[in-house]
Amino acid sequence: MRIRDEDKVNLVKQKALESFVKDGFEGFSMNKLAKNCNISVATLYIYYKDKDDLIISIAKEEGDKMADAMIKNFDPKASFEDGMRIQWKNRYEYVMENPLAYLFFEQLRTSTYQVKFLENFMKKFKVIISEFMHNVVGRGEINMMPLEVFWSVAYAPLYSLIRFDREGQSVGGMPFKMTDRVLWQTFDLVIKALKN
C-alpha cells in the first residue's frame, strides 16, 4: 500500500477547488483533476474512493476551517452588537482570505451536496451561535424571530456587499470596491434594524 503524500493531497484539494469554481460540479472530472495535478488518476483513488467522496471530503474540511474562522474570538456571552461585530469581521475576513472556498460553498448551497455539508458544518457552529442567540434574546436585546428572518437581515447585506466587491460592480453596473466605511455603515444599519 502506498503512503499518503500530504503535499499531493493538498495539491489535489487546491486544484479541485479551482476546478469546481471554474467548471462547476457537472464539468468536473477525476481525469481532468489528475491531469491538472500531473498525477495519475489511480493516485486520486488512493485518497478518495470517487468524485462524491472527494467533494464531500473537501466540503467537510473547508467547512471546518470556515466554522473555526467564524467563531474565532467570539464570546457567546457578548452583547448583541459586540457579538455581531465579531461575526461580520470574521465572516468578511474569511471570504477575503479564502475566495475559492467561498465560491465553492456557494456552489454547494445549490447542489445535492448541501445537506451533507451543512450536517457537518452546523455541528461545530450551531452550538456556540445558539448560545449567543439565547443570551441576547434572554437579555431583551433583540426579539425572538424565525432563523430565516434573522439571517436575512443580519447577514444577507454583508454577503451582498461581498458579491458586489467580488464582481467589481453594484446594482446597475456602477463600479464598486468594498471599504471599511461601507462595511461598518451597513453593519450599523443592520444592528439598528434588529435591535428592539
Dist CA 30 CA 23 (whole Å) = 13
CA proximity to 124, closest of 65, 80, 57 = 65
Dist CA 160 CA 176 (whole Å) = 12
Would the pLDDT of 2 be above 60? no
H/E segment holding residue 100: helix 99-109
**Type of residue found at 104:** F
Helix (H, G, I), strand (E, B), or coil: what is residue 80? helix
Higher pLDDT, 55 or 119: 55
pLDDT class for 118, splitting at 50, 70, 90? confident
Give the chain's largest Cα–Cα span. 62
φ, ψ for residue 179 (rounded to 5)?
Answer: -130, 160
pLDDT value at position 154? 97
- Provide CB contacts within 8 A for 55, sequence distance 6+: 16, 20, 25, 113
pLDDT class for 184, splitting at 50, 70, 90? very high
Q: What is the mean pLDDT of residues 18-46?
A: 93
pLDDT value at position 20? 94
- Residues 46 and 9: beta-carbon distance below 8 Å: no
Mean pLDDT rounded to a whole number for the chain: 92
Please count the other Cβ atoms lying within 10 Å of the Cβ belonging to residue 70: 19
Would the pLDDT of 1 be above 60? no
Give the tens place of pLDDT for each residue, 142-182. 999 999 999 999 999 999 999 999 999 998 899 999 999 99
Residue in the structure block whose three cell numbers are 456571552: 77
Dist CA 185 CA 138 (whole Å) = 27
Q: Which domains does the chain have, with CATH numbers?
A: 1-48 (1.10.10.60), 59-194 (1.10.357.10)
